[in-house]
Chain A
Amino acid sequence: MAKRVLMEVDAFGGTKISAQGYQGGTCIQATASFESLFSKTVQPRQAVGDCDGRKDDGERVRT
């Protein structure tokens, strides 16, 4: 379980998340819950995307 999560929100609302026990994560839209980060280890492949609205390879993690 991640004890500390850092969510960096840039000047345009884009987010990057890093969590103790997990590092990676690019664009994740801050929408609802952080449960996916606090309740289990999120694999890097589960957090991809660059917030440009285009489909990316891999699964976009919604927090």
Chain B
Amino acid sequence: MSHNIALSGVRITDLKELADVVRVVGQGQARFMPNQKTFRTYQGQSPVCDHAIVLAGSNYDIGLRRESDGSYSLLADFTMIAHGSPFRARGVDYHQFLRSATNYDQAAAQFATGALQQEYALRKAEEQAAKMGRRATRIPGKNGSITLEIMER
């Protein structure tokens, strides 16, 4: 039985940016592997994907699947990687988060990739703000949130 689920959270379209986020947030515990067509998952299975994020010291990877709208979904058995994921959500207690979840698999996926999605979203917003001649400042908030203040220069 497959335990893999596809997570579509932040709309990921920029693989170059994603690769850098993997490098920075993963802190050496993950590598983005462009064009790797399979990812490791439950019981040694290797489902297909378009690209992959290989997790160091793990028997599980995260696959990326290109969707019809050009964005990428993240695929993995997130319940198996959530707790030790280098991209786990910051400032969130995993077990408490699971207790309040209505969908266990989706909750595990959100937690396992939280920091990755957060950093990607912030960077894309900062990039766009810069293109518009605006300055952006990150302000740490509660429960791991970060607020981007975007102002006229």
Mark A residues whose CB is within 8 Å of B. 3-15, 29-35, 38, 51, 53, 62-63
Smallest Cβ distance from A39 to chain B, in angstroms? Answer: 9
B30 interface residue, CB < 8 Å from A? no
A3 to B11 CA separation, bound complex (whole angstroms): 26
B67 interface residue, CB < 8 Å from A? no
Chain A hits for B58, CB < 8 A: none
Chain A hits for B114, CB < 8 A: 11-13
B29 interface residue, CB < 8 Å from A? no
A13 near B10 with CB under 8 A, answer yes
Known: A34-B129, A34-B132. A5 touches B150 (CB 8 A): yes
Q: Pick 18 A–B contacts, CB within 8 A, sort by A.
A: A4-B149, A4-B152, A9-B121, A9-B147, A10-B143, A12-B110, A12-B111, A12-B117, A13-B116, A29-B11, A31-B11, A32-B124, A32-B128, A33-B131, A34-B132, A34-B150, A53-B8, A62-B11
Which residue in B91, B132, B148 is a CB contact (below 8 Å) of A11? B91
